[in-house]
Each structure stands twice: as C-alpha cells, then as structure tokens.
Amino acid sequence: MAEIIGGITTSHIPAIGRAIAEGQQEAPYWKPFFDGFPPVHAWLEDKKPDVAIVVYNDHGLNFFQDNLPTFALGMAPYYQNEDEGWGLKPLAPFPGHPELSAHIANSLVEDEFDISICQEMAVDHGFTVPMSLLWPERWQPEIKTIPLMVNVVQHPMPTPARCLKLGQALGHAVASFPDNLKVVVLGTGGMSHQLDGQRAGFINRDFDLKCMEQIVEAPEKLAELSNLDLVREAGSQGPELILWLVMRGALGTKVKKLHSNYHAPVSNTGSGLLLLEPS
Ligand code: DHB
Ligand code: FE
C-alpha cells in the first residue's frame, strides 16, 4: 500500500529560484534562508520518497483568470515548466505518476471533491521553486511528482476548512493505492505577504509564527479562519497558507515536528519551513 511518510512546507518565492540558478546560497542575504534546509535534505536522502504530491497554486501560467478551477489535479506523464517572467529560465520537465493521479482523482470525486483533472499541465514557480529547494540539482531524478493546484489568486477561494478536508480526502486516497509507494506531501507558498496596493511589503511575523505552531498542533483551529482573516492578518497573498492546510490534512490527526525554520523577509515574504511526520 502507498503510505504518506511526511509533509514539508516551503516558500515558492521566484527570487529563490534565481538565487539557486546563480549559486547565491552562501551570499549574506540568502544564507539564513538556505541554512534552514540541510536537515530536510538529510531526511529526504534517508527516506527517499517515490512520489512528491505538490500542493501549490498556479499564478497565471497554466490557468488564467478567465478559466480558473478551484482545485485541479495533474494526471500527466510529465509536467512542463515554461517561461513565466520573473527572470527564471525554464527547467527540464518533472516526471509524473499518472496511475497514482488517476487513483487519487477517483477517490477524491468519490469523497465529493469534484476536482478538475489535467492530462497536460504547465507548472510555474509555485511548483518548481519548492522542488528546486528540496531536490537541488535533481539529486533524486527518479522522484515522481503530482501537482495539486488550489486557487489562491482570485476570489472566491476555497475556505481554509475546505482545504483541511481536501487534505484528509487526499490522505485516504493515497492510503488506498495498492502499490507500495512512499509519498511526501508538500504544502508550498505562504507565509504573510502583499505584493501590491497600499500595504505592499506587509509581513506579519507574529502571525506567521503562530500559524507555524497551530498547523502542527491544532490545524482545525487555524482552519476556523476565513480567507478575509488571512488577507487582514497576512496580506493579500496570505491566503497561500491554505495550501499548507491541504498538506496537514493529508498527514492525519497527530504529527511529529522534526524541523522548522522561519526567515523574513525573503523578497517580500515571510518564509516558513516545516518537516512533519505522521505519528
Ligand atoms: C513573491 C512571493 C510570491 O508568493 C509570489 O508568487 C511571487 C513573488 C515575492 O515575495 O517576491
Ligand atoms: Fe505566490
């Protein structure tokens, strides 16, 4: 049977992709951020998951505002990264796992999550930056990926509570896949940030740190917030945090925190890293 062996949260800020491409990890600006990652790399090297389910948000590359599903699951043999601006050079395609995707799609729809299913899907920095952070230089080229896209760019967005439930349904889906597979779930994006408008540059460190605690110990408490609460407390792009709740739901009731790191600002954003195991 397939098993979810862990959950990881990471930022997806495009500037991180630039820093990786330029080898800036030791530069004074970047070092405190990249120094958070070695324990997570060591865990991944030890566990060698077969599949990463990447819960992410598209920022206008594969979906635009005229045609934007609330939830969309990739079911492709590979996922292409394309030029989306931000000065990032497109990366080589990421291999998929269509059989597990098909199983998850069936199981989610049975569980009343009527997701869109994409047999082709281009992935942007929301997906590629976390992958580059966790698998630098593609050190585990055999790892398969499944993108699970959640709309956090245009209202109405799914509620935090709905995202926690989607994660629970995702957990059931993976656990009922017959092949032996080790699966890691990535909750990407966040934390507080606002990229435009009067509060551009807004970061709420206290709120971010509180979320990093609650997502571990009391995700249902965090899920009581509305997206408007998240905008107020964490800026107009703060709702990216609901992606973390999908990951957290998939891990089950109790989790063990193995590692965490918070650094702000990175570009315009508070960046939170967590490594969790189901317990
Ligand atoms: C930044 C953050 C994001 O979430 C994003 O999608 C783009 C840019 C930033 O802080 O620069
Ligand atoms: Fe973003």
Q: Measured in angstroms, how far is the CA atom of residue 105 from the centroid of ligand 1?
A: 29
Torsion on CA atoms 269, 275, 277, 279, rounded to nearest 10: -80
Grouped pLDDT means (10 residues each) for the chain, 279 residues: 98 97 97 98 98 98 96 98 93 98 98 98 98 96 97 97 98 98 98 97 98 98 98 98 98 98 98 98
C-alpha neighbours within 13 Å on the C-beta side of residue 253:
0
Cβ neighbours for 108, distance < 8 A, ≥ 6 positions apart: 73, 115, 166, 169, 170, 173
Q: Measured in angstroms, how far is the CA atom of residue 45 from the centroid of ligand 2?
A: 27
Count of CB atoms situated within 10 Å of the CB of 155: 10
Count of CB atoms situated within 10 Å of the CB of 22: 10
Its pTM stands at: 0.98
Token readout for 167 is: 């994660």
Q: Measured in angstroms, how far is the CA atom of residue 38 from the centroid of ligand 1?
A: 23
Q: Which of 30, 61, 150, 269 gets mutated to test ligand 1 (max ligand atoms within 8 A of its CB)?
A: 269
- Ligand 1, CB cutoff 6 Å, lining residues: 12-15, 59, 189, 193, 195, 237, 267-269
Q: What pLDDT is recorded for position 41? A: 98
Looking at all shown ligands, the one closest to residue 84's CA atom is 1
Report H helices in the chain: 14-21, 31-34, 38-47, 98-110, 125-134, 160-175, 205-217, 219-222, 227-234, 242-250
C-alpha distance from residue 186 to each of 135, 209, 231 (Å): 12, 19, 22
